[in-house]
Amino acid sequence: MTETPNETPDNAPQPERFNQARAAQAMAVLEDYAEMIGDLMDEMGEARITDIAARMGVTHPTATKAVARLKREGLAMSRPYRGVFLTEAGVALADRVRGRHRTVVDLLIAVGVPAETAELDAEGLEHYVSATSLAAFEMFLANSAARS
Amino acid sequence: MTETPNETPDNAPQPERFNQARAAQAMAVLEDYAEMIGDLMDEMGEARITDIAARMGVTHPTATKAVARLKREGLAMSRPYRGVFLTEAGVALADRVRGRHRTVVDLLIAVGVPAETAELDAEGLEHYVSATSLAAFEMFLANSAARS
DNA sequence: ACACAAGTGTAGCCAAGGCTTTAATTGGCG
DNA sequence: CGCCAATTAAAGCCTTGGCTACACTTGTGT
Protein backbone atom coordinates (compact mmCIF):
# COMPACT_ATOMS: atom_id res chain seq x y z
CA MET A 1 0.00 0.00 0.00
CA THR A 2 1.32 3.35 -0.92
CA GLU A 3 0.95 5.72 1.94
CA THR A 4 -2.32 7.26 0.97
CA PRO A 5 -3.59 8.91 4.09
CA ASN A 6 -7.11 10.06 3.55
CA GLU A 7 -6.30 13.65 3.17
CA THR A 8 -8.59 16.10 1.50
CA PRO A 9 -9.79 14.40 -1.67
CA ASP A 10 -8.37 17.15 -3.81
CA ASN A 11 -9.08 20.68 -4.83
CA ALA A 12 -12.64 19.94 -5.93
CA PRO A 13 -15.29 22.51 -5.10
CA GLN A 14 -16.80 20.93 -2.03
CA PRO A 15 -17.50 17.27 -2.35
CA GLU A 16 -17.75 17.12 1.39
CA ARG A 17 -21.22 18.42 1.39
CA PHE A 18 -22.28 15.28 -0.43
CA ASN A 19 -20.52 13.12 2.07
CA GLN A 20 -22.26 15.01 4.78
CA ALA A 21 -25.61 14.35 3.18
CA ARG A 22 -24.65 10.69 2.87
CA ALA A 23 -23.78 10.49 6.54
CA ALA A 24 -27.10 12.03 7.48
CA GLN A 25 -28.82 9.48 5.33
CA ALA A 26 -27.16 6.63 7.19
CA MET A 27 -28.54 8.00 10.45
CA ALA A 28 -32.02 8.55 9.06
CA VAL A 29 -33.22 4.99 9.31
CA LEU A 30 -31.95 4.62 12.85
CA GLU A 31 -33.77 7.77 13.82
CA ASP A 32 -37.01 6.56 12.34
CA TYR A 33 -36.82 3.25 14.14
CA ALA A 34 -35.88 4.84 17.44
CA GLU A 35 -38.77 7.24 17.19
CA MET A 36 -41.13 4.43 16.31
CA ILE A 37 -40.02 2.29 19.22
CA GLY A 38 -40.48 5.28 21.49
CA ASP A 39 -44.00 5.74 20.22
CA LEU A 40 -44.83 2.09 20.74
CA MET A 41 -43.42 2.10 24.25
CA ASP A 42 -45.56 5.09 25.10
CA GLU A 43 -48.69 3.60 23.59
CA MET A 44 -48.41 -0.04 24.51
CA GLY A 45 -45.79 -0.14 27.22
CA GLU A 46 -43.45 -2.16 25.06
CA ALA A 47 -42.31 -2.43 21.48
CA ARG A 48 -42.64 -5.76 19.75
CA ILE A 49 -40.82 -6.62 16.58
CA THR A 50 -44.03 -7.32 14.71
CA ASP A 51 -45.51 -3.97 15.62
CA ILE A 52 -42.35 -2.13 14.68
CA ALA A 53 -42.29 -3.92 11.35
CA ALA A 54 -45.96 -3.21 10.66
CA ARG A 55 -45.60 0.47 11.41
CA MET A 56 -42.48 0.87 9.39
CA GLY A 57 -44.01 -1.00 6.51
CA VAL A 58 -41.31 -3.67 6.40
CA THR A 59 -41.12 -7.37 7.20
CA HIS A 60 -40.08 -8.60 10.64
CA PRO A 61 -36.62 -9.75 9.62
CA THR A 62 -35.94 -6.27 8.38
CA ALA A 63 -37.14 -4.83 11.66
CA THR A 64 -34.98 -7.34 13.52
CA LYS A 65 -31.95 -6.21 11.58
CA ALA A 66 -32.70 -2.60 12.32
CA VAL A 67 -33.07 -3.35 16.01
CA ALA A 68 -29.78 -5.22 15.94
CA ARG A 69 -28.18 -2.12 14.53
CA LEU A 70 -29.81 0.04 17.19
CA LYS A 71 -28.42 -2.30 19.82
CA ARG A 72 -25.00 -2.13 18.25
CA GLU A 73 -25.19 1.64 18.46
CA GLY A 74 -26.22 1.48 22.11
CA LEU A 75 -29.66 2.91 21.45
CA ALA A 76 -31.79 -0.12 22.27
CA MET A 77 -31.79 -3.30 24.30
CA SER A 78 -33.68 -6.54 23.90
CA ARG A 79 -33.67 -10.10 25.11
CA PRO A 80 -34.63 -12.94 22.78
CA TYR A 81 -38.37 -13.28 22.38
CA ARG A 82 -38.93 -10.29 24.62
CA GLY A 83 -39.81 -6.79 23.64
CA VAL A 84 -37.44 -4.10 22.52
CA PHE A 85 -36.58 -1.22 24.82
CA LEU A 86 -34.72 1.98 24.24
CA THR A 87 -31.68 2.84 26.30
CA GLU A 88 -31.38 6.25 27.84
CA ALA A 89 -29.53 7.38 24.74
CA GLY A 90 -32.25 5.87 22.60
CA VAL A 91 -34.97 7.71 24.45
CA ALA A 92 -33.04 10.93 24.11
CA LEU A 93 -32.67 10.36 20.39
CA ALA A 94 -36.34 9.53 19.98
CA ASP A 95 -37.35 12.67 21.84
CA ARG A 96 -35.02 14.80 19.82
CA VAL A 97 -36.30 13.35 16.58
CA ARG A 98 -39.89 13.85 17.60
CA GLY A 99 -39.32 17.47 18.49
CA ARG A 100 -37.46 18.12 15.29
CA HIS A 101 -40.22 16.50 13.29
CA ARG A 102 -42.80 18.79 14.85
CA THR A 103 -40.71 21.86 14.22
CA VAL A 104 -40.22 20.93 10.59
CA VAL A 105 -43.91 20.30 10.10
CA ASP A 106 -44.77 23.58 11.77
CA LEU A 107 -42.32 25.48 9.64
CA LEU A 108 -43.63 23.96 6.44
CA ILE A 109 -47.14 24.91 7.44
CA ALA A 110 -45.98 28.37 8.38
CA VAL A 111 -44.62 28.99 4.90
CA GLY A 112 -47.83 27.80 3.31
CA VAL A 113 -47.49 24.07 2.77
CA PRO A 114 -50.76 22.20 3.27
CA ALA A 115 -50.79 20.26 6.54
CA GLU A 116 -50.99 16.85 4.92
CA THR A 117 -48.15 17.53 2.54
CA ALA A 118 -46.16 18.98 5.40
CA GLU A 119 -46.48 15.74 7.35
CA LEU A 120 -45.50 13.65 4.36
CA ASP A 121 -42.54 15.76 3.32
CA ALA A 122 -41.30 16.18 6.86
CA GLU A 123 -40.79 12.44 7.05
CA GLY A 124 -38.05 12.70 4.48
CA LEU A 125 -36.80 16.19 5.24
CA GLU A 126 -36.34 16.01 8.97
CA HIS A 127 -33.21 13.93 8.85
CA TYR A 128 -31.33 16.57 6.92
CA VAL A 129 -32.13 19.62 9.01
CA SER A 130 -29.02 20.71 10.86
CA ALA A 131 -29.11 22.08 14.38
CA THR A 132 -28.41 25.51 12.98
CA SER A 133 -31.35 25.39 10.63
CA LEU A 134 -33.56 23.93 13.31
CA ALA A 135 -32.77 26.83 15.60
CA ALA A 136 -33.55 29.24 12.79
CA PHE A 137 -36.86 27.49 12.21
CA GLU A 138 -37.80 27.84 15.84
CA MET A 139 -36.94 31.49 15.88
CA PHE A 140 -38.90 32.07 12.73
CA LEU A 141 -41.91 30.30 14.20
CA ALA A 142 -41.67 32.29 17.40
CA ASN A 143 -41.58 35.54 15.46
CA SER A 144 -44.45 34.49 13.25
CA ALA A 145 -46.56 33.67 16.27
CA ALA A 146 -45.71 36.94 17.94
CA ARG A 147 -46.50 38.93 14.83
CA SER A 148 -49.85 37.29 14.28
CA MET B 1 -56.40 -4.47 28.56
CA THR B 2 -57.52 -8.03 28.21
CA GLU B 3 -55.25 -10.24 26.23
CA THR B 4 -57.24 -9.88 23.01
CA PRO B 5 -54.27 -9.38 20.75
CA ASN B 6 -56.34 -9.92 17.66
CA GLU B 7 -57.10 -6.27 17.48
CA THR B 8 -56.31 -4.24 14.42
CA PRO B 9 -53.03 -2.35 14.57
CA ASP B 10 -54.85 0.46 16.30
CA ASN B 11 -54.09 3.86 14.92
CA ALA B 12 -51.39 2.49 12.68
CA PRO B 13 -50.17 5.55 10.82
CA GLN B 14 -49.77 4.71 7.17
CA PRO B 15 -46.42 3.05 6.78
CA GLU B 16 -46.54 4.19 3.21
CA ARG B 17 -45.07 7.49 4.03
CA PHE B 18 -41.87 5.71 4.93
CA ASN B 19 -41.87 3.87 1.66
CA GLN B 20 -42.37 7.16 -0.04
CA ALA B 21 -39.38 8.63 1.73
CA ARG B 22 -37.37 5.55 0.77
CA ALA B 23 -38.27 5.93 -2.86
CA ALA B 24 -37.23 9.56 -2.82
CA GLN B 25 -33.96 8.54 -1.29
CA ALA B 26 -33.28 6.12 -4.12
CA MET B 27 -33.72 8.93 -6.61
CA ALA B 28 -31.54 11.34 -4.67
CA VAL B 29 -28.19 10.07 -5.85
CA LEU B 30 -29.30 9.95 -9.46
CA GLU B 31 -30.48 13.53 -9.20
CA ASP B 32 -27.19 14.66 -7.79
CA TYR B 33 -25.23 12.99 -10.55
CA ALA B 34 -27.51 14.33 -13.26
CA GLU B 35 -27.19 17.83 -11.90
CA MET B 36 -23.43 17.51 -11.69
CA ILE B 37 -23.13 16.26 -15.25
CA GLY B 38 -25.28 19.16 -16.37
CA ASP B 39 -22.98 21.57 -14.57
CA LEU B 40 -19.91 20.04 -16.14
CA MET B 41 -21.41 20.13 -19.61
CA ASP B 42 -22.19 23.79 -19.17
CA GLU B 43 -18.76 24.61 -17.83
CA MET B 44 -16.52 22.41 -19.92
CA GLY B 45 -18.66 21.34 -22.83
CA GLU B 46 -18.51 17.71 -21.73
CA ALA B 47 -18.54 15.63 -18.61
CA ARG B 48 -15.69 13.25 -18.01
CA ILE B 49 -15.83 10.44 -15.51
CA THR B 50 -12.84 11.75 -13.61
CA ASP B 51 -14.38 15.17 -13.16
CA ILE B 52 -17.69 13.76 -12.07
CA ALA B 53 -15.95 11.58 -9.52
CA ALA B 54 -13.87 14.45 -8.18
CA ARG B 55 -16.83 16.74 -7.78
CA MET B 56 -18.97 14.14 -6.13
CA GLY B 57 -16.20 13.16 -3.79
CA VAL B 58 -16.16 9.52 -4.86
CA THR B 59 -13.74 7.30 -6.74
CA HIS B 60 -13.90 6.83 -10.49
CA PRO B 61 -15.40 3.36 -10.40
CA THR B 62 -18.21 4.66 -8.25
CA ALA B 63 -18.87 7.42 -10.73
CA THR B 64 -18.81 4.89 -13.56
CA LYS B 65 -21.42 2.81 -11.79
CA ALA B 66 -23.58 5.84 -11.22
CA VAL B 67 -23.36 6.75 -14.89
CA ALA B 68 -24.32 3.20 -15.77
CA ARG B 69 -27.41 3.60 -13.63
CA LEU B 70 -28.21 6.90 -15.30
CA LYS B 71 -27.91 5.23 -18.67
CA ARG B 72 -30.13 2.42 -17.53
CA GLU B 73 -32.72 4.99 -16.50
CA GLY B 74 -32.44 6.69 -19.86
CA LEU B 75 -31.02 9.88 -18.38
CA ALA B 76 -27.55 9.78 -19.88
CA MET B 77 -25.61 8.40 -22.79
CA SER B 78 -21.94 7.63 -23.23
CA ARG B 79 -19.65 5.76 -25.56
CA PRO B 80 -16.64 3.93 -24.18
CA TYR B 81 -13.74 6.24 -23.42
CA ARG B 82 -15.78 9.22 -24.52
CA GLY B 83 -17.50 11.76 -22.35
CA VAL B 84 -20.86 11.40 -20.71
CA PHE B 85 -23.85 13.28 -22.07
CA LEU B 86 -27.31 13.79 -20.71
CA THR B 87 -30.33 12.77 -22.73
CA GLU B 88 -33.19 15.16 -23.13
CA ALA B 89 -34.80 13.61 -20.09
CA GLY B 90 -31.52 13.94 -18.23
CA VAL B 91 -31.23 17.62 -19.07
CA ALA B 92 -34.79 18.18 -17.95
CA LEU B 93 -34.08 16.42 -14.67
CA ALA B 94 -30.90 18.38 -14.11
CA ASP B 95 -32.68 21.66 -14.74
CA ARG B 96 -35.51 20.73 -12.44
CA VAL B 97 -33.08 19.72 -9.71
CA ARG B 98 -31.10 22.91 -10.08
CA GLY B 99 -34.17 25.08 -9.84
CA ARG B 100 -35.45 23.21 -6.84
CA HIS B 101 -32.10 23.50 -5.15
CA ARG B 102 -32.12 27.25 -5.54
CA THR B 103 -35.64 27.55 -4.26
CA VAL B 104 -34.84 25.48 -1.21
CA VAL B 105 -31.75 27.53 -0.46
CA ASP B 106 -33.69 30.75 -0.88
CA LEU B 107 -36.44 29.57 1.39
CA LEU B 108 -34.03 28.53 4.10
CA ILE B 109 -32.38 31.92 3.94
CA ALA B 110 -35.76 33.63 3.97
CA VAL B 111 -36.67 31.97 7.27
CA GLY B 112 -33.38 32.99 8.81
CA VAL B 113 -30.92 30.18 8.12
CA PRO B 114 -27.38 31.45 7.50
CA ALA B 115 -26.43 31.24 3.82
CA GLU B 116 -23.67 28.70 4.29
CA THR B 117 -25.82 26.40 6.36
CA ALA B 118 -28.62 26.82 3.86
CA GLU B 119 -26.38 25.57 1.06
CA LEU B 120 -25.20 22.63 3.09
CA ASP B 121 -28.61 21.57 4.34
CA ALA B 122 -30.26 22.08 0.97
CA GLU B 123 -28.01 19.38 -0.44
CA GLY B 124 -29.76 16.83 1.69
CA LEU B 125 -33.18 18.41 1.91
CA GLU B 126 -33.89 19.12 -1.72
CA HIS B 127 -34.56 15.54 -2.68
CA TYR B 128 -37.48 15.30 -0.30
CA VAL B 129 -39.34 18.45 -1.19
CA SER B 130 -42.54 17.55 -3.01
CA ALA B 131 -43.91 19.57 -5.90
CA THR B 132 -46.62 20.85 -3.60
CA SER B 133 -44.16 22.10 -1.03
CA LEU B 134 -41.95 23.57 -3.71
CA ALA B 135 -44.85 25.58 -5.07
CA ALA B 136 -45.62 26.79 -1.57
CA PHE B 137 -42.00 27.82 -1.13
CA GLU B 138 -42.08 29.83 -4.32
CA MET B 139 -45.25 31.58 -3.33
CA PHE B 140 -43.85 32.35 0.08
CA LEU B 141 -40.71 33.79 -1.46
CA ALA B 142 -42.70 35.89 -3.89
CA ASN B 143 -44.74 37.31 -1.05
CA SER B 144 -41.68 37.98 1.06
CA ALA B 145 -40.02 39.83 -1.77
CA ALA B 146 -43.13 41.88 -2.41
CA ARG B 147 -43.50 42.76 1.24
CA SER B 148 -39.91 43.86 1.67
C1' DA C 1 -49.71 -31.98 29.07
C1' DC C 2 -49.19 -31.11 24.66
C1' DA C 3 -50.15 -29.34 20.16
C1' DC C 4 -50.45 -25.60 17.40
C1' DA C 5 -50.56 -20.58 16.20
C1' DA C 6 -48.34 -16.54 16.67
C1' DG C 7 -44.20 -14.23 17.34
C1' DT C 8 -39.24 -14.13 16.90
C1' DG C 9 -34.87 -15.38 15.21
C1' DT C 10 -31.56 -17.01 11.52
C1' DA C 11 -29.90 -17.83 6.95
C1' DG C 12 -29.43 -16.61 2.46
C1' DC C 13 -30.54 -13.70 -1.67
C1' DC C 14 -30.76 -9.16 -4.08
C1' DA C 15 -29.77 -4.22 -5.43
C1' DA C 16 -27.61 0.07 -4.37
C1' DG C 17 -23.74 2.57 -3.60
C1' DG C 18 -19.45 2.90 -1.62
C1' DC C 19 -14.39 1.00 -2.04
C1' DT C 20 -9.69 -1.11 -4.00
C1' DT C 21 -7.25 -3.52 -7.43
C1' DT C 22 -6.31 -4.79 -12.02
C1' DA C 23 -6.88 -4.50 -17.01
C1' DA C 24 -7.57 -1.99 -21.16
C1' DT C 25 -7.71 2.13 -24.16
C1' DT C 26 -6.28 6.65 -25.65
C1' DG C 27 -3.34 9.86 -26.89
C1' DG C 28 0.82 12.62 -26.29
C1' DC C 29 5.82 12.64 -26.47
C1' DG C 30 10.47 11.13 -27.13
C1' DC D 1 6.87 4.49 -34.34
C1' DG D 2 6.67 2.93 -29.80
C1' DC D 3 6.20 3.68 -25.02
C1' DC D 4 4.11 5.68 -20.94
C1' DA D 5 0.85 8.45 -18.22
C1' DA D 6 -3.75 9.42 -17.68
C1' DT D 7 -8.33 7.97 -18.21
C1' DT D 8 -11.80 4.61 -18.31
C1' DA D 9 -13.55 0.17 -17.56
C1' DA D 10 -14.10 -4.27 -15.16
C1' DA D 11 -14.06 -7.35 -11.38
C1' DG D 12 -14.58 -8.33 -6.70
C1' DC D 13 -15.52 -7.00 -1.75
C1' DC D 14 -18.15 -4.49 1.99
C1' DT D 15 -22.34 -2.56 4.33
C1' DT D 16 -27.04 -1.27 4.42
C1' DG D 17 -31.56 -2.41 4.11
C1' DG D 18 -34.95 -4.63 1.67
C1' DC D 19 -36.95 -9.57 0.86
C1' DT D 20 -38.40 -14.93 1.39
C1' DA D 21 -38.02 -19.25 3.54
C1' DC D 22 -37.37 -21.87 7.29
C1' DA D 23 -36.37 -22.90 12.36
C1' DC D 24 -37.26 -22.21 16.91
C1' DT D 25 -39.72 -20.18 21.33
C1' DT D 26 -43.63 -18.93 23.73
C1' DG D 27 -47.71 -19.49 25.54
C1' DT D 28 -52.57 -20.51 24.96
C1' DG D 29 -56.32 -23.69 24.40
C1' DT D 30 -58.10 -27.98 24.53
Domains of chain B: 18-91 (1.10.10.10), 93-147 (1.10.60.10)
**Chain A residue closest in CA terms to B19:** A57
Dihedrals phi, psi of B87, to nearest 5 degrees = -80, 180
Binary contact (B125, A125; C-beta < 8 A): yes
Overall average pLDDT of the B74-82 stretch? 91
Question: Which segment of A141-145, B21-25, B65-69 scores lowest on mean pLDDT?
Answer: B21-25
Interface list for A 54-83 with B (CB within 8 A): 54-58
d(CA B140, CA A145): 16
d(CA B104, CA B68): 29
What pLDDT score was predicted for residue B24?
Answer: 86
Cα–Cα distances (Å) from A104 to A40, A98, A131, B20, B42, in that order, read: 22, 10, 12, 18, 35
Overall average pLDDT of the B40-50 stretch? 91
Residues in B 1-30 whose C-beta is less than 7 A from nucleic strand C are: 5, 26, 28-30
Question: Which segment of A46-50, A105-109, B22-26, B46-50 scores lowest on mean pLDDT?
Answer: B22-26
Give rounded-to-5 percent helix, strand, coil for chain B: 70, 5, 25
What pLDDT score was predicted for residue A24?
Answer: 86
Strand pairing report for B76-78 and A76-78: unpaired
pLDDT tens, chain A, 148 aa long: 333 333 333 333 567 888 888 888 888 999 999 999 999 999 998 999 999 999 999 999 999 999 999 999 999 999 999 999 999 999 999 999 999 999 999 999 999 999 999 999 999 999 999 999 999 999 999 998 887 7
Overall average pLDDT of the B51-70 stretch? 94
Half-sphere exposure of B112 (CA within 13 A, CB side): 16
Q: Which nucleotide is nearest to B51 (CA to C1')?
A: D7
Contact between B40 and B91 under an 8 Å Cβ cutoff? The reply is no
A87 touches strand D (CB under 7 A): no
| Percent with pLDDT over 90 in chain B | 72
Residues in A 51-90 whose C-beta is less than 7 A from nucleic strand C are: 51, 60-61, 64, 67, 78, 80-83
